[in-house]
Amino acid sequence: MSRSSSNPATRGGSVTLVTVAARAGVSAQTVSNALNNPDLLRTETLERVRRAIDETGYRPRRAAQTLRTRSSRLIGYGVRPVQAGKSTPVMDRFLHALSQAAESADYRVLLFATSSEEGGLRGYEELIDEHDVDGFVLSDNGERIDPRHAWLAQSRVPFVSFGRTWSKRQLGDWVDVDGASGTDTAVEHLIALGHHKIAFLGWPRGSGVGDDRANGWRRAMARHGLVTRGRRAESEEDLEAARQSACSLLDKGATAVVAASDTLALGCYRALRDRQAEAGRDVSVIGFDNSPISEMLSPPLTTIAQPVERVAHECIRLLLARIENPSKPPEQILLEPTILVRQSVSQPML
């Protein structure tokens, strides 16, 4: 009895390179050589592998497909350094969803570590140059100018972005989440509970994502004829800075705070605790991103969640359409976030 019958590779009836290797009693690399570079092998070994291929009925899948289409079936994705203490709440979920969406279309995701040097372009070049990737998924934008877009467009390399570039001129396909709609929904939720003094704790002006989230708050307030003057404060993505900025909003009598991120919302929790008040009981607080911390806070934080799995799925769909037809007009998809209501929100105190 050969080893291959107890090999998981034969489960489900599919015959793979590993099945062949087990049958022939050689490594997978040797089978690969037999197929692609037979002159590297001794005649005896080659004969053994060929017999195993015949016996198992193995047909190399990717190799055959690549020859036909000249496609590597690889999609490049750059991973940025994670700073200590800075969480990337959305990115790890996005990466799994992206791998899964790619695989359902018979593609794989090839990672590379990006740095800020040369706008991070070096890694993109190398992936094209060395691994023949068919295209790229970009993320982690939020800048007004992203040199990667212009460069990839000029180099005629297919790409899709998770996130807009926020410049007037849109190069290429993108999928994004409507941040303004998210904060608009947050304001509507608070107004329905009876709040009028609704403040916004945002990032400093100038970031595309941050300004978008601020705009949703402003337009919802305007729609209801509510005052926004003196109800906006700014903070970097830092707990202590957020605490201080939140204080000024509370000083001016806000009964509710919509924050541009869960970290800023936590800063607001701190500012409330400083004055022996509590989120949800004394002042309502809504965050953004549904990061792992949001559920663990006390009280658990009401927050705006991005549909990360759908973003990944749409990214792959647009990218494959672009690879198929490089000259089609750009396509852009804006998805709606949803509000997750937890205990940090209640009716205003009278």
Q: Tokens 């200590």 appear where?
A: 84
Give the number of residues in contact with a copy of itself, rule: CB under 8 A: 81
Q: Output the smallest distance, CB 21 to a copy of itself, in A.
A: 6
Positive or negative, the Cα torsion across 109, 111, 116, 120?
Answer: negative
Q: Between the CA of residue 205 and those of 78, 209, 211, 235, 240, what are the distances in Å?
A: 27, 10, 6, 10, 19
Q: Is 116 in the site for a copy of itself (CB under 8 A)?
A: no
Q: Which of 204, 230, 292, 330 binds a copy of itself (CB under 8 A)?
A: 292
Q: Which of 45, 46, 119, 153 binds a copy of itself (CB under 8 A)?
A: 119
Residues 235-264 that bind a copy of itself (CB under 8 A): 239, 263
Which CB atom, from 214 or from 242, has the smaller least distance to a copy of itself? 242
Helix axes 17-24, 43-56, angle to 10 degrees: 120
Residues 67-96 that bind a copy of itself (CB under 8 A): 70, 73-74, 77, 79-82, 84-88, 91-93, 95-96
| Residues 6 or more apart in contact with residue 181 via CB below 8 angstroms | 216, 336, 337
Q: Is 275 in the site for a copy of itself (CB under 8 A)?
A: no
* Residues 307 and 336 sit within 8 Å (Cβ to Cβ): yes
Residues 19-58 that bind a copy of itself (CB under 8 A): 21-22, 26-29, 32-33, 36-37, 40
Positive or negative, the Cα torsion across 317, 322, 323, 328?
Answer: positive
User: What is the rounded distance in angstroms from the CA atom of residue 84 to the CA atom of residue 91?
Assistant: 15
Q: Output the smallest distance, CB 215 to a copy of itself, in A.
A: 27
Q: Are strands 135-138 and 173-177 parallel, antiparallel or unpaired?
A: unpaired
Q: Is 125 in the site for a copy of itself (CB under 8 A)?
A: yes
* Residues 63 and 32 sit within 8 Å (Cβ to Cβ): no
Residues 158-187 that bind a copy of itself (CB under 8 A): none
Residues 300-339 that bind a copy of itself (CB under 8 A): 326
Q: Which of 298, 328, 347, 349 binds a copy of itself (CB under 8 A)?
A: 298
